[in-house]
């Protein structure tokens, strides 16, 4: 008997493919709305802390997976790139939607942290980082490398792994 092994990405692909088959997507005139098929697909994807989408690097297709994000908001997300702070993202998106909608988007997205330039709000996107910790990271600047910054994160926070924090910073 042969044993078949599937990788996690293969299983995820099959799940998404299966969900996309057999159902007819509905067209909507409201560009901020998504149909139920899109919402179901987004709900099955793991948007945990390590799977949040970089606002500077993700594709339009990635952004379209976010619940409540329609074509218009995908365009707006991409138009204001590159984002240098989460406050910039909030300000720009605030031209189109209210603060609650923006907070909803932030459950699925982040602005990559520049280790020597990001503000407190942007640094606190790293889960587990408090405003007080972010201020300590700022006070310890400049950092010679991402590794030096990650060492400081571990020193100050203790409970955050380097691999976890690395996901949120601009890569060298």
Give yes or no for residue 43 having a pLDDT over 60.
Answer: no
Confidence band of 16 (pLDDT split at 50, 70, 90): very low
Final residue of a structural domain among 112, 136, 157: 112
Please report the pLDDT score of residue 49 as a whole number: 56
Please report the pLDDT score of residue 38 as a whole number: 41
What's the rounded Cα separation, in Å, for the pair 109 and 33?
A: 18
- Assess whether 78 and 108 both reside in one domain: yes
Does the residue 21 lie in any domain?
no
Give yes or no for residue 23 having a pLDDT over 70.
Answer: no
Strand locations in the chain (E): 53-54, 109-110
- Residue 110 near residue 55, CB atoms below 8 Å: yes
User: For residue range 53-105, what is the model confidence (pLDDT) as tens digits?
Assistant: 999 999 999 999 999 999 999 999 999 999 999 999 999 999 999 999 999 99
Give yes or no for residue 166 having a pLDDT over 80.
Answer: yes
Domain count, the chain: 2
Please report the pLDDT score of residue 48 as a whole number: 58
User: For residue range 27-36, what is the model confidence (pLDDT) as tens digits?
Assistant: 333 444 434 3
Which CATH number do you get for residue 76?
1.10.150
- Assess whether 61 and 90 both reside in one domain: yes
Q: What global pTM score does this model have?
A: 0.71
- Assess whether 97 and 131 both reside in one domain: no
Q: What is the Cα 39 distance to its own chain's centre? A: 17
Q: Which domain holds residue 146?
A: 120-166
Does the residue 17 lie in any domain?
no
């Amino acid at each position: 008997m042969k044993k078949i092994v599937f990788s996690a990405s293969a299983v995820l692909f099959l799940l998404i493919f299966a969900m996309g088959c057999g159902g007819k997507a509905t067209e909507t005139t409201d560009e901020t709305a998504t149909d139920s098929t899109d919402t179901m697909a987004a709900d099955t994807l793991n948007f945990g802390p390590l799977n949040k989408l970089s606002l500077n690097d993700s594709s339009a297709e990635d952004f379209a997976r976010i619940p409540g994000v329609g074509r218009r908001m995908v365009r707006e997300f991409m138009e204001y790139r590159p984002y240098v702070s989460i406050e910039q993202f909030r300000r720009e998106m605030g031209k189109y939607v209210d603060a609650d909608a923006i907070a909803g988007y932030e459950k699925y997205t982040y602005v990559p942290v520049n280790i020597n330039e990001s503000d407190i709000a942007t640094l606190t996107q790293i889960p587990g980082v408090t405003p007080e910790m972010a201020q300590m990271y700022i006070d310890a600047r400049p950092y010679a490398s991402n590794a030096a910054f990650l060492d400081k994160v571990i020193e100050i926070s203790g409970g955050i792994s380097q691999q976890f924090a690395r996901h949120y910073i601009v890569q060298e």
